[in-house]
Amino acid sequence: MKIGFIGLGIMGKPMAKNLLKAGYDVTVSTANKACGELVAAGAASASSAEIGEMCDVVLTMLPNSPQVKEVMLGEDGVGAHMCPGSVFIDMSSINPVASKEIAAELAKRGVEMLDAPVSGGEPKAIDGTLSFMVGGKQEVFDRFKELLGAMGSSVVRCGEVGAGNTTKLANQIIVACNIQALAEALTLAKRAGVDPELVFQAIRGGLAGSTVMEAKAPMMLSGNDKPGFKIDLHIKDLNNALDCAHSVGAPVPMTAAAQEVLQWLHAGGHGQEDHSAMVKYYSHLTGAELSE
């Protein structure tokens, strides 16, 4: 099976490397800045059009809906070069409406699609323990579950095309609201004269404990804002969540509140920092620095 991989950023590059480590035949796009690094790791390289022509399955890991549409359906896009019976797996986090639109266009050409966004950020992309949320036909999912498993520890089919990205939006709502609550709680402790590190140690094993807390509390406490997942990307995901929620009539007031904090940080020049930097909003309001 020949695999084409387009999108070698913070997430895509380590994911492609894990496919190579698992012994897969991977071809990366010459348009990617990291192409040389992946070729040195064992990948082949080709133009996007050539990837469409020669690969059995094309994987993308791109920023948002417009980029995925342009790569796949734009003028001389990859989709125009894919053979009937080949498969497109989009691992980007995009609006589920866009996933359905792309799938419908590719179906006209005999190309199947899975939308398979991930959760876990850069650390889990590197160690191959991402969580995949997948939408698409059961038989297509069954064929490629093992492939996705080379990059993740959890691969779950959530329904038809679009269900993967709907699930990802739910995931991003929960993550954002957890980070905001954590920032509020640790700031409260600091203002009340209690060591936030001890608060973290005391509550991490109880009901409040979570994967989010384990990943983000140490970053807040040390002042580390190196991005595992950037604020600007989370803003993109919550914009998609708000759009989807409004279209289906789902109330999301907590999501809207978290988005306002993220937008404030973006306006202040923090958009390229990790989303744990939400704590800076509370530091600005209170003057309490957790990392002092």
Chosen CATH of 2-160 out of 3.40.50.720, 3.40.50.300, 3.90.180.10, 3.20.20.140: 3.40.50.720
Cβ atoms of residues 35 and 8 within 8 Å = yes
230 counts as catalytic? no
Overall pTM surpassing 0.75 (yes/no) = yes
Helix H or strand E encompassing 152: strand 152-159
Domain ranges of the chain: 2-160, 166-286
How big is the chain by its Cα radius of gyration, in Å? Answer: 20
Q: Which residues of the chain have pLDDT under 70?
A: none
How far apart CA 237 and CA 252 sit, in angstroms, is 14
For the domain covering 166-286, report its CATH number. Answer: 1.10.1040.10
Q: Which pLDDT score is estimated for 32? A: 80
Q: Which pLDDT score is estimated for 292? A: 74
* Catalytic residue (choose from 168, 190, 216, 280): 168
How far apart CA 163 and CA 169 sit, in angstroms, is 10
Q: Which pLDDT score is estimated for 192? A: 98
Residues with Cβ < 8 Å from 94, sequence gap 6 or more?
64, 65, 68, 115, 117, 165, 240
Give the tens place of pLDDT for each residue, 250-285: 999 999 999 999 999 999 999 999 999 999 999 999
Q: Which pLDDT score is estimated for 121? A: 85
